[in-house]
Amino acid sequence: MEAAAIVLAAGAGTRMKSKKPKVAHEVLGKPLVKWVVDEARAAGANRIVSVVGHLREQVIPLVEDCTEIVVQERRLGTADAVASGRAALAGFDGSLLVLSGDCPLITAETLSKLVEAREADNAAVVLLTMKLPDPFGYGRIVHDEAGCVCGIVEQKDATEAQRKIDSCNSGFYCFDSAWLFEALTRIDDDNAQGEFYLTDVVELAYREGRGVVEVVTSDPQECLGVNSRVQLAEAVKVAQRRINRCHLDNGVTMIDPDQVWIGPDVRIDSDVELYPQVFLMGNTVVGEDSVIGPNSRLTDTVVGKGCVVDETVALGARLDDAATSGPRAYLRPGAHLCEGAKAGTHVEIKKSTVGKGSKVPHLSYIGDAVIGEGVNIGAGSITCNYDGKNKHATSIGDGAFVGSDTMMVAPVSIGAGAIIGAGSTIAKDVPADALGITRAEQVSIEGWAARKRGRLEQK
């Protein structure tokens, strides 16, 4: 049977003390709501609706490329938020997951269990529950004498006896979609909050004998909601350890897993070694036998096989097999180190290709350049690519040698096999196999320094 999902992404998150809505805060480089959306997709939901409201201008860009957007105009409660998705899902008849957009630790496996349980019993509602030693703040699950779920009572509406119940609502459900949208028209806002609670439909289904199925999670951390900075930090730690354990099991070495942070979409081959204080985020890929050294942060970067990356910040960069970077290198978007190429100490490269076996070893900036194979760039060299208004390109041919402290004023081309004298400012093209040099004549004035010192001593 077809499955769809409604992700509730309209929460204000006032305890976050932030200008951002809580679902836009990130765990390991990924917004909370994106974690939930991606797990719903992995669980088989081929239609996903995001319900946005408060600060929606910040939330919509996060999900508009992967979900349908529905706006909850007024904050009237969770039932009203779900009802907002009725028009978007018109004609849909199947299992409808309703998910909290601020719970990034939920898994596709658990969501699939909810769908399977609903379809197995043709139930009106399946709810994911959890047992907590401290249930404060959560809705409590009320059971009848036979042990069946007969309702959910929110913390503010609970009696003293009900507040002692340790079985809690997680905020994750799977509904018969047709029944749900009809049932939402029959609930009211007669409660302490004056809101329309989605939880009220559980009692309604029970009274109508439509079937309420409870799935108890074995891992309550999956349902951890993020409503504060403390809970955000807790979610990061849980996600970090979960992801790192998976990579360790797949053959990745970490000297200290608690000091390695890996985003959920990162791919790492076996026999990769990760040192402490490594951050791998976004769609980063690391090939086998590569070593990522301490204090490195790679985002949306592709690292080939057998690379060594040490104290490097790389954003949208690419390193082919056996390339090396660092220590203290900065690879900006569009930086491409070809096979065996090197970006060394205090080197910044942006939107440039460094050819096979070429080296930029020390203290250099390379921007908007194409460097051929077997090129050596001397220390302190710069491609002067910006004229104050436009960026210009530099081309350096195979086998060229650029001496230290060279300024290459773009647009400029240095031919294959050319040699550039140290300390030159190259503003004109240099032919292949030529010597390019711009250097003022050296003058030595004998005795000048001694006379200078003498004048200083007299003063």
Distance CA 48, CA 54 (A): 19
Q: Residue 145 and residue 129: Cα distance in Å, rounded?
A: 18
Nearest-Å Rg of the Cα atoms of the chain is 31
Place of tokens 């320094």: 449
Our answer to whether residue 247 is catalytic in this structure is no
Q: Exposed, middle or buried by CB within 10 Å (0-12, 13-18, 19+), for 191?
A: middle
CB 168 within 8 A of CB 132: yes
Stated length of the chain? 459
CA atoms within 13 A on the CB side of 318: 11
Q: Which of 2, 39, 366, 29 is nearest to 178 (CA)?
A: 2
Number of H helices, E strands in the chain: 9, 41
- CA angle, corner 190, sides to 188 and 194, nearest 5? 100
Instruction: State the Cα–Cα distance between residues 38 and 261, nearest whole angstrom.
Output: 20
Catalytic residue among 25, 247, 346, 362: 362
Q: Report CA torsion sign: 190, 191, 192, 198.
A: negative
Residue 335, SS3? coil
Residue type, 301: T
Tokens of 247: 């990579």
DSSP assigned state of 320: -
Closest among 144, 208, 139, 192 to 169, alpha carbons compared: 139
Cβ-proximal residues to 81 (8 Å cutoff; 6+ apart), any chain: 8, 10, 51, 53, 72, 198
Residues in contact with 444: Cβ distance below 8 Å, sequence separation at least 6, in sequence order: none
Give CA–CA dist 268/262, Å, rounded.
Answer: 10
Annotated catalytic residues are 362
